[in-house]
Amino acid sequence: MTAATDPQALPAQRITGKARLAGVLGWPVGHSRSPLLHNYWLRRYEVDGAYVPLPVRPEGFEAAVRGLQAAGFRGANVTIPHKEAAFRLADVLDDSARATGSVNTLVFQDDGTIRGLSTDGDGFVASLRAAGFDLPGAGQGAAAGRVLLLGAGGAARSVAVSLAAAGMQVCLTNRTRARADELAASLPGLSVCPWEEWESTLGDYALLVNTTSLGMDGGPEPGFCPSLQQASAGLVVADIVYVPQVTPLMAEAQRRGLRTVGGLGMLLHQARLGFQAWFGVEPQVDAQTEAYVLAGFSG
């Protein structure tokens, strides 16, 4: 380990009466790696502050947010199942939040208002670029600039909005067709592919993204591994799941010699904006950060 990744070598956590405070709201919230990441950055950049997990039931969400604001917190991340409630609660919304109808980052402003951000999609695009994926010119021939998203939930919406803004042509597929149709109807330019057919159309895309929890440890189908037989040699396979680090889908892609992008990059990049807003420092997403968080997964 380097000095920036060894917990014993990092500066001690500095918390005074002037500490800046933030956290993550969810139900449950024990699975979140956000406290690991943000407290690493706090120590690395020697910030007087703390970031804590905040398990809050849905019916108590607004009261919890108001209480944190009254207690002097700078803001909070928001995870399942509170993202839509956070959207309704925010006084000011960024463009991504308005487009997605959800918020994953709350910033408590000095004038008493609450600013709502949606950083998931932009974090995903940043992780692609960090991995060397060319947006929007990826792929060759008919596949150039085309992406297929698995899923039609909140994560799919965020990723679709950001990919479309980056110039990609987005197609959705979902086991429940009605949800995919509803999402496509709400966002201009999106198309829909039937779930039963998407594996046979992979040659038409430069990028495949799993935005569902399929393949996640402890999820509904941890062994999820569709056929990639029809994929072109240039297909890039991305998965927003980061536990495990290499999902069965990614393992199959690697077995076929395809490039892959895991979900850890999205986690790291989407966190940067909130950290900067709350703690006044723009953190780096680099190899040291990734190594520290990966080590924490098994710690």
**CATH number for position 280:** 3.40.50.10860
Task: Please tell me the predicted confidence (pLDDT) of residue 12.
Answer: 81
153 carries a ligand binding annotation: yes
Q: Report, as an integer, the average pLDDT of 172-178.
A: 96
13 assigned to some structural domain: no
Which residue segment(s) compose the domain that 68 sits in? 20-118+267-297
Counting Cα atoms < 13 Å in the Cβ hemisphere of 33 gives 24
15 assigned to some structural domain: no
User: What is the pLDDT confidence band of residue 62, given thresholds at 50, 70 and 90?
Assistant: very high
7 assigned to some structural domain: no
- CA distance to 30, 80, 162, 253, per residue, from 273 (Å): 22, 19, 15, 31
Domain count, the chain: 2
| 252 and 126 fall within a common domain | yes
Look at residue 297 and tell me whether its pLDDT is greater than 90. Answer: no
State the DSSP code for 71. Answer: T
CATH number of 203's domain: 3.40.50.720
Q: Report, as an integer, the average pLDDT of 265-274.
A: 94
**Rounded Cα gap, residues 253 and 91, in angstroms:** 43
| 130 and 53 fall within a common domain | no
Q: Report, as an integer, the average pLDDT of 165-186.
A: 95
Task: Please tell me the predicted confidence (pLDDT) of residue 11.
Answer: 84
Task: Please tell me the predicted confidence (pLDDT) of residue 176.
Answer: 95
| 226 and 187 fall within a common domain | yes
155 carries a ligand binding annotation: yes
Task: Please tell me the predicted confidence (pLDDT) of residue 220.
Answer: 83
pTM for the model stands at 0.87
132 assigned to some structural domain: yes
Selected catalytic residue, list 83, 146, 157, 269: 83
10 assigned to some structural domain: no
Share of the chain above pLDDT 90, in %: 78
Task: Please tell me the predicted confidence (pLDDT) of residue 103.
Answer: 94
| 206 and 170 fall within a common domain | yes
5 assigned to some structural domain: no
Strand order through the sheet with 75-78:
49-55, 20-26, 75-78, 105-108, 114-117, 92-93
Look at residue 110 and tell me whether its pLDDT is greater than 70. Answer: yes
For residue 18, indicate whether it is catalytic: no
34 carries a ligand binding annotation: yes
CB 154 within 8 A of CB 248: no
| 41 and 75 fall within a common domain | yes
Instruction: Give the tens place of pLDDT for each residue, 220-255.
Output: 899 999 999 999 989 999 999 988 889 999 999 999
251 assigned to some structural domain: yes
CB 73 within 8 A of CB 22: yes
| 139 and 253 fall within a common domain | yes
287 carries a ligand binding annotation: no
| 57 and 91 fall within a common domain | yes
| 173 and 252 fall within a common domain | yes
118 carries a ligand binding annotation: no
| 157 and 100 fall within a common domain | no
| 231 and 179 fall within a common domain | yes
3 assigned to some structural domain: no
| 201 and 224 fall within a common domain | yes
| 180 and 289 fall within a common domain | no
151 carries a ligand binding annotation: yes
242 carries a ligand binding annotation: yes
Counting Cα atoms < 13 Å in the Cβ hemisphere of 277 gives 23
